[in-house]
Amino acid sequence: MSKTVISVEHLSKHYRLGVIGGGTLREDLNRWWGALRGGSQHLVQLESEDFEDRKQGQIWALRDINLEVKEGEILGIIGRNGAGKSSLFKILSRITAPTSGRAVISGRVGSLLEVGTGFHPELTGRENVFLNGAILGMTKAEVARKLDEIVEFAEISKFIDTPVKRYSSGMTVRLAFAVAAHLEPEILIVDEVLAVGDAEFQKKCIGKMGDVANEGRTILFVSHNMRAVSMLCNNGIVLDSGRIVYASSAENAVHHYLNLNNRQNDSRWKVVRENKEKRCFFQNISAHNKNGEETSAFSMGDDIELRIEFYTRNIIDRIDIGVSLEHRDTGIRIFGTTTKITGNTLLNAKGRTKVHFVLPENLLAPGSYCFTLALSKEETVYHLVEAAVYIEILPARHLNPGLAKDVNFGFVSMPHSWVFNQRILNAVK
Amino acid sequence: MHDEYFGHEHVTVIEPHGSLMDLKLKELWAYRDLIMLFVRRDFVAQYKQTILGPAWHFLQPLLTTVIFTIVFGKIAQISTDGAPPFLFYMAGTIIWTYFAVVWTDTSHTFTSHAHIFGKVYFPRLAVPVATLLSKLMAFSFQFMFFLGFLVYFKLRGAELSINSWVLITPLLLLMMAMLGMGLGVIVSAVTTRYRDLTVVVGFGVQLFMYLSPVVYPVSILPEPYKSWMLMNPVAPILETFRHAFLGTGSVGLFRLSISAVIITLILLTGIMLFNRIERTFMDTV
């Protein structure tokens, strides 16, 4: 039996939401003074409304997590947003300490929580590789040994002595990922970074992850892409509200997760408290049929309308709204678009904005799908809601001329026609 | 125990609270390459976008010295123990500036590195240590500048008795660095919770300067202030530095040792506080 490299015992993490550097000495002094004078009753009075709010905003991001990861295991961690995936990763990569419990890790941990940490725009590519490498825990000698490989992987050899501030954002990301990918830790933590870069580069990244896996090193992988999880991982755990609710093979975990979501409210996504701290966030996302009724069940002949409401704290010009459609059981992304791609520019969004997104009738084959939405601008993603709204497409009730009633298999209904003996029988949309 | 369990050399135990006494200096040493790269980054980044570049190193102490000479020397006519006022103020200024800059810069450790601290782990102490080292470069430029003036005044026939105390200069610097960083990390740890204290630091540094013998020698102080000066760990450092190069004032190993003890205590407290805050800092920012 291979040895245990990560052992987590009764790990819990408690957060106080909303305490964003807002603590002032006066507030604390007030509290102490209040406690001194009149006991706890007085305390409540002295606390500002703001403080009351914060008190209620306490959450357990992780509750009593027990976990063992063996050497060479590729563990997929899945769960909705806010289920505790990031908290677990942050504790395992020592960015923050747990509230209780402990974890023992044997081997060097490399995390790809976010790439390009500590890049300084004034330094050249080469200097940044050394700096970034050192931040990630490599020695100077190690970086020097791998420098050529890193530069080649990032495809920026011509610009290696140019300050990074002159790089395009794509170049910066490639260089940053190249450094992280060559870290060669015994345990690699990957959190959705594969979403960066162009398709070609993504392929390289997946390849690199595969290499790492083949070398017998351990990988913890967080993704919302169910297909990637079931393909890449051997085992999977499902997190929900800070607890491990399921642990099994990756495939079983994916199924369990999808079923778990089945039971939750499908047609509407509503903003939760922690989202409200973002600069710009979705408030409501809901699916409606052509009569304007909110629903998650559509017939093939129905238009699907997403009603999107978002809020921007300050003016954001040309904010990009992205929508992608995924097939629920497989996680395959069928379609994705953004306002930018289609040239629908939204100038100077501020405050509350309502947007309708419509998919016309007869596009999707019967089955379950979900929409993922994002608010972004250039490289910055303000808010990403994975699997915000679920819809179920059912076969049409009646056979209408010119419309398909059902599809034999696949995800889409393509316009087509049948020709028998030179006579077009029926063109179907 | 864990080594046996895992049979591996690199074992990390993650627990809610580390030992208060564990200063994690061994780990810091393992990251010495990172510290040097931070030093380089600070240095390069600081000058690439300024017009005058490293010339600031010379202008800043020069202007301060000139102003001090006019205000405290000519107008207020404060004694300089017989040393040329210009050299007296310059000596005080450069060593004080090093201390003040280390203090203020390290007190921003958490806030200025939140973006890195939030993504990857390394001993956080690497940042203030790097600050201390990168500021040392600026000091060495200024120190050489000072030596230049020293030679110039000597050639002009000023009475200067440079003595063997100059050999202790590195130790004086080390003490200033330790105190600056000690106070800085205390402030940085406290300000993660109480942001309003950041304002107090700039003000505090300035006040502290007047409480220290930078623009005046200890010898002009009447009792009881003279004895109180014993409690200021900076005083013997400044006095010794000036005595070494200018021959003014008095030095005492006893006072220096008291100062060293106080400084060590402040630094230890600072590191312990810093290590404690570091563990959950990311939750509060």
Residue B189 has pLDDT above 60, yes or no: yes
Does residue A130 belong to the interface with chain B, where contact is any CB pair within 8 Å? yes
B11 interaction partners in chain A (CB closer than 8 Å): 104-106
| Cα A81 to Cα A75: distance, rounded to the nearest angstrom | 18
Average pLDDT over residues A311-330: 88
Hey, what are A81's tokens?
Answer: 């947003």
Q: Measured between alpha carbons, how far is A427 from B259 in angstroms, rounded to an integer?
A: 94
Cβ pair B11:A114 closer than 8 A: no
Q: Does B13 map to a domain?
A: no
- Chain B contact for A113 (CB, 8 A cutoff): yes
First vs last C-alpha separation in chain A: 57
Token pair listed for A111: 């995390």
Could you tell me which of A32, A66, A24 has the C-alpha nearest to residue A237?
A66
List the structure tokens of A9: 């015992």
Nearest to B14 among A3, A98, A127 (CB): A98
What mean pLDDT value characterizes chain B? 85
Find chain B residues with C-beta within 8 A of A86's C-beta: none
Residues A81 and A386 sit within 8 Å (Cβ to Cβ) = yes
Does residue A306 surpass a pLDDT of 90?
yes
> Does the bond joining B224 to the residue before it have cis omega, within 30 degrees of 0?
yes
Distance CA A77, CA A224 (A): 9
Task: Let me know if residue B186 belongs to a domain.
Answer: yes
Report the distance separating Cα B168 and Cα B254, nearest Å: 14
Residue with tokens 């970034």, as numbered in its chain: A132
pLDDT of residue B174: 95
For residue A85, pLDDT beyond 80: yes
- Residue in chain A nearest B18 by alpha carbon: A97
How far apart (Å, rounded) are the C-alpha atoms in residues A139 and B29?
12
Cα–Cα dist A293/A120, whole Å: 51
pLDDT at A337 over 90: yes
User: Which residue of chain A has the CA closest to B276?
Assistant: A97
Which residue in B230, B273, B272 sits closest to B252, CA to CA? B230
Question: Is residue A217 scored above 90 in pLDDT?
Answer: no
Give the per-residue pLDDT at A41. Answer: 40
Q: Give whole-number Cα distances, B22 to A80, A143, B26, B274, in Å.
A: 38, 30, 10, 12
Phi, psi of B21 (to 5 degrees): -80, -15
Which of A5, A19, A93 shows the shortest C-beta gap to B284? A19
- The tokens describing A127, both together, are 């200097």
Complex-level ipTM: 0.78
Domain positions in chain A are 24-56, 62-262, 268-394
Other Cβ atoms closer than 10 A to A319:
22
CA distance B109 to B281: 11
Q: Does A143 have pLDDT greater than 80?
A: yes
Residue B190 lies in a domain: yes
A358 pLDDT higher than 90: yes
Domain membership flag for residue B9: no
Contact A236, A219 (CB under 8 A): no
- Set of chain A residues whose Cβ sits within 8 Å of the Cβ of B49: 122
Q: Is A21 on the interface with B (CB under 8 A)?
A: yes
Of A328 and A4, which is predicted with more confidence?
A4
Interface contact A260, partner B, CB < 8 A? no
Rounded distance between C-alpha atoms, residue A232 and residue A213, angstroms: 9
Secondary structure of residue A2 in the 3-state scheme: coil
Mark yes or no for CB contact A91/B14 under 8 Å. Answer: yes
In total, how many domains does chain B have? Answer: 1
Nearest-CA distance from B131 to chain A in Å?
15
Instruction: Determine the structural domain holding residue B123 and report its residue range.
Output: 24-284
Q: Which residues of A185-290 form beta strands (DSSP E)?
A: 187-191, 218-222, 235-240, 243-249, 268-270, 280-288
Angle at which helices B126-155 and B85-106 cross, to 10°: 170
Name the phi and psi angles at B22, rounded to 5: -80, 105
CA nearest to A344, candidates A335, A362, A356: A356
Confidence of residue A22 (pLDDT cuts 50, 70, 90): very low
Q: Tell me if B184 sits within 8 A of B58, measured CB to CB.
A: no
Percent of chain A at pLDDT above 90?
17
d(CA A303, CA A287): 10
CA separation for the pair B101, B112 (Å, rounded):
15
What would be the CATH architecture of the domain defined by A62-262?
3-Layer(aba) Sandwich (3.40)
CATH superfamily of A268-394: abc- transporter (atp binding component) like domain (2.70.50.60)
Quick check: A19 pLDDT over 50?
Answer: no
The pLDDT of residue A284 is above 50: yes
Q: What are phi and psi of A108, to 5 degrees?
A: -75, 135
In a domain, B135, yes or no: yes
Confidence of residue B1 (pLDDT cuts 50, 70, 90): very low
Instruction: Report CA B104 to chain centroid distance, whole Å.
Output: 9
Identity of the residue in B44, B49, B116 whose CB atom sits nearest the CB atom of A135: B116
Is B252 part of any domain?
yes
Q: Which helix (H) or strand (E) holds B267?
A: helix B253-278
Write down the pLDDT at residue A47.
38
Query: Best residue in A67, A105, A142 to probe B by mutation, most B CBs within 10 Å?
Result: A105
pLDDT number for residue B177: 95
Q: Cβ separation of A24 and B195 shorter than 8 Å?
A: yes
Which has the closest alpha carbon to B123: B33, B191, B193?
B33
- Three-state DSSP class for residue A266: coil
Q: Closest partner residue to B41 among A98, A114, A131, by Cβ?
A: A131
Question: For residues A16 and B282, what is the distance between their CA atoms, to the nearest angstrom?
Answer: 12
CA distance B105 to B135: 9
> Minimal Cα distance from A134: which residue of B?
B34
| CB within 8 Å of chain B, chain A residues 179-208 | 186
Q: Which of A79-88, A234-243, B107-116 has the highest mean pLDDT?
A: A234-243
Q: How far is B24 from chain A (nearest CA, A)?
A: 14
A393: nearest Cα among A330, A299, A301: A299
User: Between chains, do A100 and B7 touch, taking CB under 8 Å as contact?
Assistant: no
Residue B282: closest C-alpha in chain A: A96
So what's the pLDDT on residue A424? 67
Find the range with the poorest average confidence among A254-258, A396-400, B167-171, B253-257: A396-400
Say what the pLDDT of residue B35 is. Answer: 93
Quickly state the pLDDT bin for B227 (edges 50, 70, 90). Answer: confident
Predicted model pTM: 0.71
Q: Compute the distance between CA of residue B114 and CA of residue A95 in angstroms, rounded to an integer.
A: 11
Rounded to the nearest angstrom, the minimum Cα separation between A9 and chain B is 10
Pick from B52-56, B106-110, B226-230, B242-246: least confident: B52-56
pLDDT for the residue numbered A25? 63
Q: Is the pLDDT score of A135 beyond 70?
A: yes
What pLDDT is recorded for position B268? Answer: 94
Query: Cβ of A16 and B283 within 8 Å?
Result: yes
Which residues are CB-neighbours of A325 under 8 A, at least 6 positions away? A333, A334, A335, A336, A359, A364, A369, A370, A371, A372
pLDDT of residue B36: 92
Structure tokens at A134: 């050192």
B contacts of A15 (beta carbons < 8 Å): 283
Are the beta carbons of A244 and A238 closer than 8 angstroms? yes
Chain A nearest CA to B100, separation (Å)? 24
* Tokens 């202790």 belong to residue: B168
Residues from chain A that touch B196, judged by Cβ atoms under 8 A, are 24-26
Q: Under 8 Å CB-to-CB from B1, ≥6 apart: which residues?
A: none
DSSP state of B70: I
Which whole number is the average pLDDT over B33-53?
81
User: Tens of pLDDT along B21-30?
Assistant: 777 788 888 8
The average pLDDT across B190-219 equals: 84
Q: What's chain A's average pLDDT? A: 80
pLDDT in tens, A156-177: 888 889 888 888 877 888 888 8
In a domain, B11, yes or no: no
CA-to-CA dists, residue A252 to A77, A246, A247, A257, angstroms: 12, 9, 8, 8
- CA separation for the pair A314, A350 (Å, rounded): 6
- Minimum-distance CB partner of B119 among A16, A25, A95: A95
Model confidence over B47-102: pLDDT tens digits? 776 666 677 778 888 899 999 999 988 888 888 777 888 899 999 999 999 999 99
Q: Is residue B95 part of a domain?
A: yes
- Whether the predicted pLDDT of A38 surpasses 60: no
Establish, for the pair of chains A and B, how many residue pairs have beta carbons separated by less than 8 Å.
133
Q: Mean pLDDT, to the nearest integer, of B191-212?
A: 84
Q: Considering only A20-24, A417-421, B72-76, B156-160, which range has the smallest mean pLDDT? A: A20-24
A127/B44 touch (CB, cutoff 8 Å), yes or no? yes
Give the C-alpha separation, B50 to B77, whole Å.
36
> What tokens appear for A368 in the block?
């379950």
Chain A neighbours among B 98-157 (CB < 8 Å)?
115-122
Give CA separation, A2 vs A108, A251, B2, B11, in Å.
17, 22, 17, 17
Interchain contact B203–A (C-beta under 8 A):
no
Whole-angstrom Cα distance, residue B174 to residue B208?
19
Best CA proximity match to B145, nearest among B54, B53, B217: B54
- Give CA–CA dist A32/A313, Å, rounded: 34
For A91-102, write each residue's pLDDT tens digit.
988 888 898 999
